[in-house]
Chains A and B, each alone.
Chain A
């Protein structure tokens, strides 16, 4: 345990250093996370205003603004790219050296992930404030909802990171399967409530979204923070379900990782 903590701290320091070195390029990655929710806010608020009662799926224009403001922030803190990257690490052979270390490669991936989120904050933070100021969202959240929303966002970040990593394990069997990362991302967009709030999903998509884990990564923390989830009981049961998913995915990871490493044969030096 102490080894893990000390190594992780070292990984994190190194990763922050690397990110600061490439700060210009990293900011370019972060821009998408700003533009995409802003564009989706525009389409949904325009759609809501075309309806007679000025609302859509129970959201007014101001509530769409609040929802996408939350999604913008949650999207930043939950972002993970291992589903795309692990295949490349295997193809290029750089995973081999990571496997020699007495600590799982997932820890250095987690450190890089956290370093990205911390270092880009100085750029995206002011942009969030700007978006807030332009779109004037209607929030009706009490302090407890915001506090629990922050907890839910952190759990959501872990959830997306771990599930993405588990999905990425497919690349041990087929390292050129780039479509896996794209499909994982697209499914998260639709069923997580990033493209549209879950209440706006039609019939079968709505039912699928309630079974799949993605709503606990985006829609749940967003609805909590904007005040759509009214009772503490609802909020606490949501947090519990997040934890259950998290434990389940950790369990799958432990087995999946063992099987993957057993299957691993290095591609190149």
Chain B
């Protein structure tokens, strides 16, 4: 019953968002053009690097194509629901309109996480997955069907981690109202995930694995999709999943704590 209602709500919000998009079609096309430009520049980047060298710390050009594809997939996925919803949450806290969300007879965390769904960002996900699959085919000569399950699981874990980070950043806004530009910090750090974390020195790698778990967002899913000696070890995958669960729990607790501090618009 409860789950049916949740699914119905998601469907409803998706429908409303698609209708809104139809009003700004040119804007949508422009954004798709921009994301294709980004993908092209990333592919040119791989071409430039591997016209100078055979491999970078064990990563060959096929591996790197998989990573470029995964990076685009994750970046697109984050822009479908996570970033737009959190942007709206920050705006609502600042404007005081969050009260309207809290008054609705639905779990508030659920509602703030599904209100905005930018469906055309799925183009990024499709382009990214195509590039990643192409990289795998160039590597082994076949579509990575066997890896697909572990890959999907690690990708889901990556999204869970990003969602947790964003929910915590959003919750911070209950105390520090002017953190709307925090999104830029997020994308700046995310930039470091364009390349495998193996290129960094030990200390940076450690930081990007344990302090800022960027490794589990791009490098680990890419490795999960790659078969052979580069593939992600079961323990890494398990670590990523454990971290994702912890992030969900911690961010949920923090959100509830923040909500108790929220005093509303008129205060």
Contacts and interface: CB of A to CB of B under 8 A. Distances in A.
Given A47-B49, A47-B53, A190 B185 contact: no
B41 A43 contact: no
Interface in A30-45: 31-32, 35-36, 39, 42-44
Most buried by B among A43, A177, A201: A43
Interface in B160-202: 178, 181, 184-185, 188-189, 191-192, 194-195, 198-201
A31 B48 contact: no
B48 A176 contact: no
A183 B195 CA distance: 22
* Chain B: interface size category: 35 or more
6 closest A-B pairs by CB: A202-B51, A46-B199, A186-B41, A47-B53, A179-B33, A47-B56
A57 interface: yes
A57 B51 CA distance: 10
A50 B55 contact: yes
A42 B26 contact: no
A31 B181 CA distance: 12
Contact of A42 (B40, B185, B204): B204
B52 A177 contact: no
B53 A35 contact: no
B195 A39 contact: yes
A31 B185 contact: yes
A96 B4 CA distance: 53
A51 B57 CA distance: 10
Given A35-B188, A36-B191, A179-B34, A42 B45 contact: no
B196 to A, nearest CB: 9
A170 interface: no
Nearest to B54: A50
Interface in A18-67: 24-25, 28-29, 31-32, 35-36, 39, 42-44, 46-48, 50-51, 56-57
